[in-house]
Amino acid sequence: MKESVGVDLTGLGRRFIEGLGGLCGFEERFHVKVDEGTGEGYGWVPTMRPIAKYIEYGVVNLDKPPGPTSHEVVAWVKRLLNVQKAGHGGTLELPVF
């Protein structure tokens, strides 16, 4: 069993899903088509993934320092976290030239 028995996974999942849009000001309402819960023993509420999985399915909003390139920073982060694959989606801080 991957989750401890007795945790309300459906409720926690629902809260996570309904809170997702709010993280970036996206407003939406959910309508139930089939009123059904989720089962125990498979999958995880994203915030409750075991740490290795949490990292594998994670993203970092990294404040890139002005010196190194994005490519270099990605290489550092890969080594730091010991992950095979990492990428970047553009940087917040850009070098000035």
User: Under the rule (CB under 8 A), what is the footprint of other proteins?
Assistant: 9-10, 12-14, 16-17, 20-24, 26-34, 36-39, 42-47, 49, 51, 54-65, 73, 76-77, 80-81, 83-94, 96
Q: Which of 18, 14, 54 is nearest to 36 (CA)?
A: 14
Instruction: Find out whether 84 and 57 touch, Cβ atoms under 8 Å.
Output: no
Q: Which of 86, 16, 81, 88 is nearest to 47 (CA)?
A: 16
* Pair of tokens at residue 38: 């989720």
- CA distances 37 to 4, 9, 14, 20, 64, Å, are 16, 8, 9, 19, 41
